[in-house]
Structure 1
Amino acid sequence: MHSNTGKSLLKYALTAKNTFILALVMLAIGVAAELAGPFIARSMIDDHMLAIEKPYYETAAAGESTVNYDGRTFKRGDRFTEGEARGPEVRILQVGTSFVFVEAEMGDVSGERSYRDGTLILTKSGQVTEYPARKLNAAEVFAFYRPEIPGILTLVGWYFVFLAISIVMEFGKTYWLQSSANKVIQKLRIDVYAHISRLPVNFFDNLPAGKVVSRVTNDTEAVKDLFIAVLSNFFSGVINMLGVYVALFLLDVRLGMICLFVVPIIWAWVVLYRKFATKYNTIIRSRLSEINAIINESIQGMSIIRIFRRQSQTKAEFEKLNDDYMTYQNKMLNLNAFTSHNLVNVIRNLAFALVLWYFGSAQITGSSVISLGVLYAFVDVLGRLFQPITGMVNQLAALDSSMVSAGRVFALMDEPGEAVTDGSMPRYKGNVEFKDVSFAYKKDNVLKNISFEAKQGQTVALVGHTGSGKSSIINLLFRFYDPQKGTITIDGQPVKDLPKQWIRQHMGIVLQDPYLFTGTIASNVSLGDERISRETIEKALKDVGADRILAHLPKGLDEPVVEKGSTLSAGERQLISFARALAFDPAILILDEATANIDTETEALIQSALEVLKRGRTTFIIAHRLSTIRSADLILVLHRGEIVERGTHDELLALGGRYYQMYRLQAGGDTPALGGLPGHITEPATGRI
């Protein structure tokens, strides 16, 4: 996995820091509002519902907080103002399900209570105390509760206020967090795509297209889950836990200290879990890429698969990958099933056991008396502690998967790309010179001491069998690669001193199998370049004779082109490719056996157009069909990376060497029957020309 994934993710998160901060502020407010509930409940229980057991005193001044009983007026002791006269103390105590009225100073009323024949009996630590008492009926009990109702209603009102705040904050937090995540992923995808377009061509030699697509789509989508689901749960979880611990310590410091044991357990669990999960997820993401690659390859080569009846083998390869993917998915499933829910349950039960042990021992020794309100609030808050823990633990799988995916994305972005240089250079003349150029893709040189010169307006043809180095010369010219030895100059200037984009701006190529993009015929000629007008497109198509060939299309220039131009014939695709080269008006033109896929009639139409196309430009032709290069100014015969013959068509025929043999072979001289495809030369010793 990428070593600095966390730092890279943080860098991207900071691009939307304002909305992330807003989401976190709303989250904190929401948590605080939600945690207000237990405190309101504690106040409701301790200050109102159980508070009628506090001492009451007789008073002469009646009011909202006073109680009328037996012709007298009473008020709770904590509601007297300073200096206000107090009468005799009375108490209202609960015995079982009943309440009794005791007119006496009682002090501590904890202990076991019982009522019999007008007497309240208190038993504490073996000591028995008796007080005269009178049982109250329901109406009389309610009379003592009536002053508490306004306070209870106020607390209920505050509860609903905090509930409304938490609902609004939850909505805001979710909205802003998700919109921030979408913004981050949008930027990440744009950057990944931009970086892919800057990667050197040789990077794609060993990485299937499906795997690259998987990085841009599946892996960035998993990173999106990280920002939306994982960060949401973890941020919520951490802030909730902080809020819960603040609440626990406010309720009772000792109980808060006891419950701190949860934090190191969660930390240790995350570290241990990720040790196994990262290994599984790395394989899962890799298999997913391979599945994408094989699907992409199968779709691209579906006709070949069917022609050679490879469906069962291809299916077997796919199933093997899919089975491996499922195996590791199941391993992750087992890891999650054995741990997440069970872990939270164990910690929850352990925490409640510790709390009960604490309360139990305190009650037995009599060393501590904790109110029922505190107990209720504590149990409520402690229960809330495990909601975020459950959310965090359940997101561990997504966290690890997202981190692995992010690592794969950032590893791709760490691949050295070609620098993008803004601006452009004036159109050069196109005088090309190779001086002692040697080049190897890996170890062995595919070009050895290549030297030649092509002047402006000249046509240079490259001939030779497969693997002789023809395409390598073109790759060096385009600077897809740079030679290990020697120099290549254009108009006397070394190409290494010029930005690659500037050089390519004035180069054009027509491939043997042209590539068309999804769009229209017009967009495939201009490639979306605003400098190429509609008139230029039409003229280019007309000059190469494509206007007559494409006349049957219903929408003309605006005829839709699907992927790779599969609805057009090979000849039609090639003509569009010719028009594209002409429209861009390059100084250097490369024709990679550009007429090989065109029928004889179509070829006749564009031969004259080719002469127009080549005029004033330096043209390189990779030739398989030797009859097409008779007029070339220079023919270079390549063999195993070296130029073995050079000269014009007539000079090379007169030489009687390798070129002469190849030409006789194609012309059907005294040679064995030719194999191979039409327009391609095959000879036993050298292979395809």
Structure 2
Amino acid sequence: MVYVRPYRRIFYLLVFLTVATAVLGTLRPFLIQQMVDVTIEQNDWVGLNRGFGILLVLLVAHAFVSYLQTYFGGWLGQYIVRDIRVDLYKHILNLRLKFFDRTPIGVLVTRNISDVETLSDVFSEGLAAMIGDILQIVFIMAFMFYIDWRLTLVSLSVIPPLLFSTYVFKEKVKKSFQEVRTAVASLNAFVQEHLTGMNVVQIFNNEQREYRKFQALNQEHTRANIRSVLYYSIYFPVAEVLAAVGVGLLVWYAAQGQIEGTISKGALIAFIMYNALFFRPIRQIADRFNTLQLGLVSTERLLKLLDSQEFVPNNGTLAPATLRGEVEFENVWFAYNDEEWVLRDISFRVEPGQTVAFVGATGAGKTSIINLLSRFYDINKGHIRIDGQDLPAYDLSVLRRHIGVVLQDVFLFAGTIRDNITLGHEDITDTQIWEAADLVGARRFIERLPGSLDYPVMERGATLSVGQRQLISFVRAMVYQPAIIILDEATSSVDSETEELIQEAIEKLMQGRTALVIAHRLSTIQKADRIIVLDRGEIKESGRHEELLRQDGYYRQLYQMQYKDVLAG
């Protein structure tokens, strides 16, 4: 209802149209009863013609009001769904990375698309329509009691078993719908994950095994849907039979009254019509209830996601136009999971303009350090400072704007080269893009592409080489003129020729900036002002390349392992 508030005028109009539809839909049998018992019995042809005219006007008015109700119900549902989906996506965008570490992407896709779309049905086909059905039942009963209370009681005699069967049906279908939504989320997660990792599936000849896994998930989805179909196939025939029994009882009782002269022909005709009108909304209510049940299941999932407060706190107010680039870690402890320490008592200082490299075995904690500096995660203990200020003191968006990050696995979106460099920032001009491209040596290959900056990039940059994707990521980092640059294994996936080109780009990238570099290839960091050696989350050594070689410690061992063939020669 919070999302209804901006459209409350349409909502009130919809309520009015719903009431009007219910009233207009129940007037016809009453009017026909009056025509039969009054005008026809009295041979009043003028009154009969007048009655037919009124009936025709009612039919046209009912059709028009029904059209408006259906249209505005759908309109309201779609706009509400639009607003919910936008808010949900905005909420997801601001969640911390820890949330995404444990939540499958396919599940989030299901929440943002399928579950939200279900709410559209709640507004267009469920809630308003159910209110209309209930009002129609109330008006029908009012007219029925007004015409003949005895026939009304006979007609209502089958209501208790119908209500009981409706309740059982509702509960069974709710459970099956929950199973369906769970199966849909599992299917989406599986398909998304395996399409993304299709190269791994094919490299290891795993197509048949993954196919069988998909078959099993799909079979569970099918079973859940068939269970709901089974409940529908049982309920609706039962409802039809009960409705037919109600009509049979009505005719049997009214026929006796007709013979005895206590019940009029018009009343019998009106009650047969009312009986059909009465049972139709009851059967529909059960169906509407299922739409609501499905909406409730989706709403529970959406609210759980919207209520998650896994944000990186952004209470900082510092928003400097520039940074000097001084970085300091003081006694930093960090764990992705409680007490499973990834970093242990890390302390180091980087002066503005310095280049500091981090080396160590896989899992030593190198990537965790750059994640903490960009506040993708918050530390458990200690302090991280930039220009003497703790990270939380900075406005998060300003902080990240001053830090350029080039990752080992470059992610490119489907779009143009320009889109992937600016990421939609309209204030970044082509002139700035070309300046950054010149700086890192990317202009030449971009100009050779068909369309240059307008060259269409496929999903994840599939039509570009690894080196080209890496150069685009350099341009993307440089176009914002960051004070601090972070390079995470930027040359680990390229050939030697491309590495030379990228190494030149890196040297230009780091000029005049504070640089934190992670590299497995020690040849790329020998000129660093300082090299920090990490092992199991602890700093083991720190110094320049030559100093660390003389110490005969961890760094020398790493160096000898990488260059053992050269040293042996």
In structure 2, the residue corresponding to 1:433 is in which secondary structure? strand
Q: Does 1:209 align with 2:105?
A: yes
Using structure 1 for the length normalisation, give the TM-score: 0.78
Equivalent residue letter for 1:441: Y
Query: What is the aligned partner in structure 2 of residue 80 from structure 1?
Result: none
Cα displacement (A) at 1:372 = 1.7
Contact 1:665/1:671, CA 8 A, preserved across alignment: no
Q: Does 1:372 align with 2:268?
A: no
Using structure 2 for the length normalisation, give the TM-score: 0.93
Equivalent residue letter for 2:281: P
Query: What is the aligned partner in structure 2 of residue 436 from structure 1?
Result: 331
Q: Does 1:425 align with 2:345?
A: no
Contact 1:340/1:394, CA 8 A, preserved across alignment: no
Contact 1:460/1:634, CA 8 A, preserved across alignment: yes
> C-alpha distance in 2, partners of 1:520/1:615?
28
Map Cα deviations across residues 504-556 of structure 1 (whole Å, 9 max, x no partner): 12111001121111111112111121232110001111111111223321211
Cα displacement (A) at 1:208 = 1.7
Contact 2:162/2:239, CA 8 A, preserved across alignment: no
> C-alpha distance in 1, partners of 2:3/2:169?
26
> C-alpha distance in 1, partners of 2:174/2:287?
16
Task: Return the match for 1:539 from 410, 425, 435.
Answer: 435
In structure 1, the residue corresponding to 2:3 is in which secondary structure? helix
Task: Return the match for 2:468 from 572, 576, 581.
Answer: 572
> C-alpha distance in 1, partners of 2:304/2:142?
41
Q: Does 1:460 align with 2:351?
A: no
Cα displacement (A) at 1:378 = 2.1
In structure 1, the residue corresponding to 2:500 is in which secondary structure? helix
Contact 1:430/1:455, CA 8 A, preserved across alignment: yes
Equivalent residue letter for 2:509: L
The alpha-carbon distance between structure 1 residues 422 and 532, as it changes in their structure 2 partners (threshold 3 A), is farther
The alpha-carbon distance between structure 1 residues 270 and 439, as it changes in their structure 2 partners (threshold 3 A), is farther
Q: Does 1:195 align with 2:88?
A: no
Count of residues in Structure 1 that have an aligned counterpart in Structure 2: 566
Equivalent residue letter for 2:180: I
In structure 2, the residue corresponding to 1:11 is in which secondary structure? coil
Q: Does 1:490 align with 2:386?
A: yes
In structure 1, the residue corresponding to 2:70 is in which secondary structure? helix
Equivalent residue letter for 2:264: S
Map Cα deviations across residues 390-425 of structure 1 (whole Å, 9 max, x no partner): 222234443322321222222221211426779971
> C-alpha distance in 1, partners of 2:477/2:208?
42
Equivalent residue letter for 1:407: E
> C-alpha distance in 2, partners of 1:358/1:456?
97
Equivalent residue letter for 2:443: D
Query: What is the aligned partner in structure 1 of residue 198 from structure 2?
Result: 302
Q: Which runs of 5+ in 1 are unaligned?
A: 1-9, 52-144, 674-689
Bigger shift: residues 39-48 or 254-263: 254-263
Contact 1:461/1:632, CA 8 A, preserved across alignment: yes
Cα displacement (A) at 1:308 = 1.3
Q: Which has the higher contact order (CA 8 A, sep 6+)?
A: 2
Query: What is the aligned partner in structure 2 of residue 677 from structure 1?
Result: none
Cα displacement (A) at 1:333 = 1.3
Task: Return the match for 2:307 from 411, 414, 430.
Answer: 414
> C-alpha distance in 1, partners of 2:74/2:452?
45
Query: What is the aligned partner in structure 1 of residue 10 from structure 2?
Result: 19
> C-alpha distance in 1, partners of 2:345/2:329?
9
Query: What is the aligned partner in structure 2 of residue 655 from structure 1?
Result: 551
In structure 1, the residue corresponding to 2:333 is in which secondary structure? strand
The alpha-carbon distance between structure 1 residues 432 and 270, as it changes in their structure 2 partners (threshold 3 A), is farther
Cα displacement (A) at 1:41 = 0.9
Equivalent residue letter for 1:20: F
Contact 2:99/2:310, CA 8 A, preserved across alignment: no
Query: What is the aligned partner in structure 2 of residue 34 from structure 1?
Result: 25
Query: What is the aligned partner in structure 2 of residue 593 from structure 1?
Result: 489
Contact 2:317/2:393, CA 8 A, preserved across alignment: no
Contact 1:438/1:485, CA 8 A, preserved across alignment: yes
Equivalent residue letter for 1:38: P
Equivalent residue letter for 1:496: P
Contact 2:251/2:268, CA 8 A, preserved across alignment: no
Query: What is the aligned partner in structure 1 of residue 535 from structure 2?
Result: 639
Query: What is the aligned partner in structure 2 of residue 352 from structure 1?
Result: 247
> C-alpha distance in 1, partners of 2:71/2:568?
76
Equivalent residue letter for 1:231: L
Which protein is richer in strand relative to its size?
A: 1
Query: What is the aligned partner in structure 2 of residue 512 from structure 1?
Result: 408
Q: Does 1:163 align with 2:59?
A: yes
Query: What is the aligned partner in structure 1 of residue 235 from structure 2?
Result: 339
Query: What is the aligned partner in structure 2 of residue 477 from structure 1?
Result: 373
Bigger shift: residues 311-320 or 235-244: 235-244
Question: Which protein shows a greater Rg?
Answer: 1
Contact 2:491/2:499, CA 8 A, preserved across alignment: yes
Contact 2:174/2:290, CA 8 A, preserved across alignment: no
In structure 2, the residue corresponding to 1:461 is in which secondary structure? strand
Map Cα deviations across residues 196-217 of structure 1 (whole Å, 9 max, x no partner): 1011111111222122111111
> C-alpha distance in 2, partners of 1:242/1:441?
59
> C-alpha distance in 2, partners of 1:272/1:389?
14
In structure 2, the residue corresponding to 1:471 is in which secondary structure? helix
> C-alpha distance in 2, partners of 1:363/1:151?
24
Contact 1:518/1:565, CA 8 A, preserved across alignment: yes
Task: Return the match for 2:563 from 644, 659, 667.
Answer: 667
Structural mapping, 1:73-472, within 5 Å: 145=43, 148-256=44-152, 268-346=164-242, 348-352=243-247, 355-356=250-251, 359=254, 369-418=262-311, 425-426=319-320, 427-443=322-338, 444-472=340-368
Contact 1:421/1:499, CA 8 A, preserved across alignment: yes
Equivalent residue letter for 2:262: V
Equivalent residue letter for 1:21: Y
The alpha-carbon distance between structure 1 residues 15 and 350, as it changes in their structure 2 partners (threshold 3 A), is farther
> C-alpha distance in 2, partners of 1:354/1:220?
45
In structure 2, the residue corresponding to 1:476 is in which secondary structure? helix
Query: What is the aligned partner in structure 2 of residue 556 from structure 1?
Result: 452
In structure 1, the residue corresponding to 2:372 is in which secondary structure? helix
> C-alpha distance in 2, partners of 1:267/1:631?
81
Contact 1:215/1:409, CA 8 A, preserved across alignment: yes
> C-alpha distance in 1, partners of 2:384/2:156?
70
The alpha-carbon distance between structure 1 residues 164 and 441, as it changes in their structure 2 partners (threshold 3 A), is same
Contact 1:336/1:397, CA 8 A, preserved across alignment: no
> C-alpha distance in 1, partners of 2:35/2:79?
45
Cα displacement (A) at 1:30 = 2.4
Equivalent residue letter for 1:32: V
Query: What is the aligned partner in structure 2 of residue 4 from structure 1?
Result: none
> C-alpha distance in 1, partners of 2:168/2:101?
38
In structure 2, the residue corresponding to 1:12 is in which secondary structure? coil
> C-alpha distance in 1, partners of 2:92/2:318?
22
Cα displacement (A) at 1:584 = 0.9
Q: Does 1:43 align with 2:41?
A: no
In structure 1, the residue corresponding to 2:541 is in which secondary structure? strand
In structure 2, the residue corresponding to 1:468 is in which secondary structure? coil
> C-alpha distance in 2, partners of 1:413/1:516?
28
Cα displacement (A) at 1:35 = 1.9
Bigger shift: residues 320-329 or 397-406: 397-406
In structure 1, the residue corresponding to 2:73 is in which secondary structure? helix
> C-alpha distance in 2, partners of 1:581/1:424?
22
Contact 2:406/2:490, CA 8 A, preserved across alignment: yes
Equivalent residue letter for 1:432: V
Cα displacement (A) at 1:235 = 2.5
Percent identity over paired residues: 36
Map Cα deviations across residues 62-93 of structure 1 (whole Å, 9 max, x no partner): xxxxxxxxxxxxxxxxxxxxxxxxxxxxxxxx
> C-alpha distance in 2, partners of 1:422/1:630?
37
